[in-house]
A and B are shown apart, each in its own frame.
Chain A
């Protein structure tokens, strides 16, 4: 299997030693890329230790509850706006674990604003039950937490709404038009909340959302929108106090995750390479 940067997709980084980008939409993956993506999930789902799918999914809600949502500003008037930075650190660690299994694989974003034939609501690659003679690992995951209270042992399910009710490009444009960091992060979090509710089922509540395989591509989309906002606004007026806040359990502070290029990926819309050796 070729790594993605050799598949001619033409996005993100390539030959400079950094890893390739997250910059691939679910809707435009090649067959080889889909196969690599599924392979990484399938392998991670078979690992029960801290390299496995259940471990990473369990950091978000049940049983570890590390995730940050809303402002949680209990200690001071300062708003603890960690929703975007925490999930960027989370995606980074998950994607690196994927790449430990399948070198070069990247996490594609689910652009829920698209109304394309390959994606009416839930994208086809997350919806088709069988791939050849194997089950599709992007459809469901068996949560196996018998010791939580109550026990959680079931296959994740979805109850998606009407595809027309998913956020549209106009909603994203509205979010991107907000120049104040606090205003922006509140607005994008609400759009994020709406998509979780639209998928419903396990994806619909914080406790089990990350066990649904579509969770990660939804958050790649949210992370992409944040980056698009950063391209326009820089890091914005994030409180300096917040910049050194640790994003537990990951070894990142907020300031460490502000630039996706520093993390080795990009969300460029297109890339045209002019090789050395031109005339003149």
Chain B
């Protein structure tokens, strides 16, 4: 198992006076605006042919989901992947996850601050709706293929934005705290 830590999600954008007019419907994101994320090389000796496993997942935790919705396309050892890269093993495509974003902060200042760490011990209210999400993508075949020829792999996430509005950061779409491989045997 290997970890690739990232900085915590940035706080959601707050409403500014320019947003006092009625918010328009979300649209699809323009290609090339959302930033692609690529991890440092992650050692994958645990997945070489002499190691038996029946399933391998990439687990992404601490995902910020307060703004745009997107498909996160995962490529292994293909840091140049973009939205046009074919989704096949030849190009390192391992699978996708989907984020159903909140569409930006539609409240007054502070509405989208999670603040779970400030809760009192007897605060039994439901968690904040923007408590970070976790996604798991099964990447068994892609990892097997790569591990035959590489001792380390990079994980690239290409966010393809499906719904975004004026309240959302269209560049920093994919934000998470941690990415790791998990294998099962």
* Complex: A98 Cα to B27 Cα, angstroms: 30
| Cβ–Cβ < 8 Å partners of A192 in chain B | 100
| Cβ–Cβ < 8 Å partners of A59 in chain B | none
B148 at the interface (CB under 8 A from A): no
* Complex: A197 Cα to B116 Cα, angstroms: 28
Interface residues of B in 117-135 (CB under 8 A from A): 119, 126-129, 131-135
A149 at the interface (CB under 8 A from B): yes
* Complex: A71 Cα to B126 Cα, angstroms: 12
Contacts A154-B25, A157-B25: A197 and B70 contacting too (C-beta < 8 A)?
yes
Cross-chain contact A202 with B26 (CB below 8 angstroms): yes
B23 at the interface (CB under 8 A from A): yes
Which residue of chain B has its CB nearest to the CB of A165? B71
Interface size of B by Cβ–Cβ distance < 8 Å? 44
Cross-chain contact B127 with A150 (CB below 8 angstroms): no
Among the listed B15, B25, B100, B129, which residue makes an inter-chain contact with A193, where contact means beta carbons less than 8 Å apart?
A: B100
Minimum CB–CB distance from B162 to chain A (whole Å) comes to: 3
Contacts A67-B129, A197-B70, A197-B163: A205 and B24 contacting too (C-beta < 8 A)?
no
| Cβ–Cβ < 8 Å partners of A193 in chain B | 69, 98-100
Max chain B C-beta neighbours (<10 A), residue from A61, A146, A161, A206: A206
Interface residues of B (CB under 8 A from A): 15, 19-28, 65, 68-71, 97-104, 106-108, 114, 116, 119, 126-129, 131-136, 162-163, 165, 167
Interface residues of A (CB under 8 A from B): 61-63, 65, 67, 69-75, 80, 146, 148-154, 156-157, 159, 161, 186, 190-194, 196-198, 200-209, 248
